[in-house]
Amino acid sequence: MLRRHGWLSRTTTEFREAIILKSQYRRLQAGETLFLAGEEPRGLYGLATGALGAFIAPDDMLPVFAHFFQPGSWFGEIPALTGRHHVVGLQTSRETALLHLPMHALSELVVAKPHYWKFLGQLAAEHVEIAIGAVGDLMRRDNKQRFVALLMRLAGGRTPGPHATPHEVDISQEDLATICNLARTTVNGILNQLEEDRLIERSYRRIRIIDQDSLRALITD
The residue segments making up the domain with residue 67 are 7-132
Q: Based on the fold, state whether residues 56 and 117 are members of the same structural domain.
A: yes
Q: Based on the fold, state whether residues 101 and 206 are members of the same structural domain.
A: no
* pLDDT the model gives residue 163: 47
Query: What percent of the chain clears pLDDT 90, i.e. is strictly above it?
Result: 72
Mean pLDDT of the chain: 90
Q: Based on the fold, state whether residues 178 and 99 are members of the same structural domain.
A: no
Q: Do strands 44-49 and 96-101 pair parallel, antiparallel, or not at all (unpaired)? A: antiparallel
* Residue 110's CATH number: 2.60.120.10
* pLDDT the model gives residue 91: 95
* pLDDT the model gives residue 97: 97
Distance separating alpha carbons of residues 8 and 74, to the nearest angstrom: 8
Spatial neighbors of 35 by CB under 8 A, at least 6 apart, are: 42, 86, 89, 90
* pLDDT the model gives residue 221: 59
Q: Based on the fold, state whether residues 80 and 115 are members of the same structural domain.
A: yes
* pLDDT the model gives residue 87: 87
Q: What is the pTM of this model?
A: 0.88
Q: Which residues of 70-102 are buried (b: 16+ CB within 10 A; e: fewer)?
A: bbbbbbbbbbbeeeeebebbbbbbeebbbbbbe
* Residue 211's CATH number: 1.10.10.10
Q: What is the pLDDT of residues 154-185, one digit of tens each?
A: 988 775 444 455 688 999 999 999 889 899 99
Q: Based on the fold, state whether residues 12 and 100 are members of the same structural domain.
A: yes
Last residue within a domain, chosen from 80, 113, 132: 132
Q: What is the pLDDT of residues 31-81, one digit of tens each?
A: 999 999 889 999 999 999 999 999 987 766 677 888 999 899 999 999 999
Please say whether the beta carbons of 4 and 162 come within 8 A. Answer: no
Q: What is the pLDDT of residues 6-32, one digit of tens each?
A: 999 999 999 999 999 999 999 999 999
* pLDDT the model gives residue 166: 62
Q: Is the pLDDT confidence value at 145 over 90? A: yes
Distance separating alpha carbons of residues 169 and 213, to the nearest angstrom: 17
Please say whether the beta carbons of 143 and 190 come within 8 A. Answer: yes
> Looking at the 3D structure of the chain, how many domains does it have?
2
**Can you tell me whether residue 119 is helix, strand or coil?**
helix
Query: What percent of the chain clears pLDDT 70, i.e. is strictly above it?
Result: 94
Last residue within a domain, chosen from 70, 104, 132: 132
Last residue within a domain, chosen from 66, 97, 132: 132
